[in-house]
Amino acid sequence: MSADEASRHRANLASLWVCILIVAFSLWLRNGFPVHAVASANTDDFLFIRLAAAVRRAHWLGAYDNLTLAKGPFFPGFIAVNSLFHTPLKITEQAVYLAASAALALAVFRLTRSHVLGVLLFAVLAFNPVLWTESLARVIRDGLYISLALGLIAAFGLLWSQPLFGAFSRGGEILAGLFTGGLAAAFWLTREEGIWLGPALAVLGAGVLISLRAGTRVQFTRSTAMVFGVAAATIVTVASINFAVYRVFTDVEFRASGFLSAYGALNRVQHTSWQRYVVVPRDVREKVYGVSPAAAELRPHLEGASGDQWRRTGCTFQPAVPCTDILGGWFIWALRDAVALAGHSRSGGEAETFYTRLAGEIDAACDDGRLTCTGARASIAPPFRVEYLVDAVKVSPRFLETLLTFGQAEMVTLPNSGAPQRLATFRALVGPVESAPSTAPITRIFSWVAAAGEAPTLAVFDAQGNARGQVELTRAPDIDRVLPQQGFAAQLFAIHPECPALDCTVVLKLGDGSERRLPLKDFGGVLPEDPSFVMTIDDVERPVDGIAPEVAQRIALQQRIARAIAGGYAAAIWPLLVLGAAGTLAGLWVFRRTPRLFVLSTLAAAAFTAVASRIAMLSYLEVSTFPTLNTLYLSSAAPFVIVAAILGVWLGIHAMVQRRSA
């Protein structure tokens, strides 16, 4: 072995050991932020758990309802597979993120041959503070999505730059194409707005293509075609499975043609008086009920208890004055619930048929003049308005400012919430989940109950027989239809006990006049079985101020270190990003005839593009549809901020050195 080879070997070995230490320390820090289980989040956290439990049982995504195909299946599948190895979900998510970071650092090292830059980039990515925020402590797909986005850029960078180092072996090219295509499919099947990463990939691909010699561009084209072919085949396979199981050919129902057409048709009807954030106002709905029999079937639910519940939920989370209608971010769910309540969601195929009929009836009324409408559309995006674009530009600096804090203010650990049975399901699939103290008073119980004959009623009484709380009841015919018990009628309930201790009783009155007395304390555990009624508990709320003291003490050191690191990132990122932008521009010019460094410059430019694309998309949604100015939605752009800053500064320094030596 020559002296140069021995030196390179020592440098490689030293870099490897440093990276191993970084991985260990990163995982240790991540373990200081426990899972935040929100068991009552039926359209988010608990939905993913429910779907994962079905996958774990080899029942695909489980029995069909209007939420089964509402979100991509990759994250539930990831939870199910990970649970087989009994590894805490958040540790596995962190390991996947570290793998994506390592792949990008490897791509950078290959382009520069700089151990220092490769290890530095990996280290700064490994301690990305956004990973420790409360938002990503939840069992929510964004915790994996951040890794898939970064990993996809890294995989394309390694694949596309390979011709600069010599041709792939045929087997190597196939393996790389299969892996990158599978990663692209996983990214697409995790969230529904994957198009935001397209501009960054286009910038990177254009830079690589410019740098390649004419003879090597064939490999670039062939490998790119393979990646997109594998990704398309994977997505089609998922859609085919959904068709076989649920009778609808789609990966996610929000992308299904019938649903898009129906939502687009509702959006094209002109408003009498336009109000921001209200995409399908009540006046539009009333017009549509009069011309569409399908829409008329939804009226009792959109204008009834279900629609009002979504109105109140939206008004809680989004400021809109006056807030008298269902807001945009929640109307999409209100519509799906209304279709289910009307009896059209017994299968995916039935729902898709209904949405297609609804779209056809509204579009026909638009075409023949019974309704005043804009052009035909099939999209969940609201119709374009110039003020949206202007307002999005105005609000975008706030998104950048929030992103560059790396969620520093959100590094807290919140107590878990939800019914004990649901928390037990979380625990079985994601690892340790702390429970609320069982002695704390219950402040709210939410779920449903069903019994033979008339729907049952509930009330809360203390030991002296005095009423001690309020009960909200709503008929639930959608539950009636799926109950295996014939003749049972269901009732949604929300109980608000007013008991200082757990010494009250919930009295359940059945349709035949008989009563069942259920101690309030039993609602925090497992209810006794009784063949005369069926009851499930979706959420049990208790006034818990924080996590258990012993847990807080155990993780205190990790959290102090993490918060100190986050403070350093937030303080340093602004000047580094400004210098990085200048350095990237300098690199694109100075290294335009140096293929590897030009590709590195386009990689930095792609990172800036990813940040800009994410902010642009979220800014537009913020001013047109629903609130997006939060760390959760911005988190997938955070690693690209780091990449842009580190690579841009390095490029700027080397561009200055090269210009001076020229």
DSSP structure string for 377-442: ---SSPPP-HHHHHHHHHHHHHHHHHHTTTTGGG---PPPBS-HHHHHHHHHHHS--PPPPTTSPP
Class of the domain covering 437-541:
mainly beta
Report, as an integer, the average pLDDT of 105-120: 96
Q: How confident is the model at residue 524 (pLDDT cuts 50, 70, 90)?
A: low
Which two three-digit tokens encode residue 30? 């991540």
Cα–Cα dist 609/196, whole Å: 10
Percentage of the chain beyond pLDDT 70 is 97
SS (H, E, C) 233-293: HHHHHHHHHHHHHHCCCCCCHHHCHHHHHHHHHHHHECCCCCCCCCCCCHHHHHHHHHHCH
Residue pLDDT, tens place only, 646-659: 999 999 999 999 88
- Least-confidence region, from 62-76, 84-98, 159-173, 576-590: 159-173
pLDDT in tens, 353-392: 999 999 999 999 999 999 999 999 999 988 899 999 999 9
- Residue 8 — pLDDT band, cuts 50, 70, 90? confident
Q: What is the pLDDT of residues 389-419, one digit of tens each?
A: 999 999 999 999 999 999 988 888 888 888 8
Looking at residues 219-246, what average pLDDT do you find? 96
pLDDT of residue 551: 83
Query: What are the structure tokens assigned to 506, written together?
Result: 């919930």
What is the rounded CA–CA span in Å between residue 400 and residue 570?
A: 12
Which residues are 493's β-sheet partners?
A: 447, 473
Amino acid of residue 298 = L
E strand spans, 76-211: none
DSSP letter for 372, please: -
- Residue 530 is predicted with a pLDDT of 82
Ramachandran bin of 372, using left for φ above 0, alpha for ψ from -120 to 50, beta for the remaining angles: beta
CA nearest neighbour of 40 among 497, 491, 429, 416: 416
Instruction: Answer whether residue 435 shows pLDDT above 80.
Output: no
Query: Residue for token digits 């030196």?
Result: 7
Structure tokens at 107: 């791509």
> Which residues face 509 on adjacent strands?
457, 515
Is pLDDT larger for residue 136 or for residue 549?
Answer: 136
Domain spans in the chain, listed from the N-terminal domain onward: 3-244+549-661, 270-372, 437-541
Instruction: Return the higher-pLDDT residue of 662 and 171.
Output: 171
Q: Which of 314, 241, 239 is nearest to 281 (CA)?
A: 314
Residue 29, classed as helix, strand or coil, is helix
544 pLDDT tier (thresholds 50, 70, 90):
low
Sorted by sequence, the CB contacts under 8 Å of residue 638 that are 6+ apart come out as: 128, 130, 146, 403, 406
What residue type is assigned to position 67 of the chain? L
Preceding omega of 163 cis (within 30 degrees of 0): no
Q: What's residue 232's pLDDT?
A: 98
pLDDT at 482 over 80: no
Of 142, 149, 103, 176, residue with least CA distance to 611: 149
Minimum mean pLDDT range among 298-312, 536-550, 644-658: 536-550
Q: Is the pLDDT of residue 437 over 70?
A: no
CA 382 to chain centre: 21
Pairwise CA distance, residues 299 & 503, whole Å: 42
In what order do the strands lie in the sheet containing 533-541? Answer: 469-475, 488-497, 444-452, 533-541
State residue 438's pLDDT score.
Answer: 60
The mean pLDDT value for 270-275 works out to 90
Give the residue, 46 or 4, on which the prediction is more confident: 46
Residue 24 has pLDDT above 90, yes or no: yes
Task: State pTM to two decimals.
Answer: 0.90
Task: Specify the range with the lowest mean pLDDT, choosing from 38-42, 90-94, 595-599.
Answer: 38-42
Residues 449 and 74: their CA atoms lie apart, in Å, by 32
Tokens of 443: 């402040």
Look over the chain and give the mean of its residue pLDDT values, rounded to a whole number.
92
8-29 burial: b if 16+ Cβ within 10 Å, else e: eeeeeeebeeebeebbeebeeb
DSSP state of 71: S
In this prediction, residue 319 has a pLDDT band, given cuts at 50, 70 and 90, of low
| Cα–Cα dist 489/496, whole Å | 22
Distance CA 396, CA 623 (A): 10
pLDDT tens for residues 321-352?
678 899 988 999 999 999 998 999 999 999 99
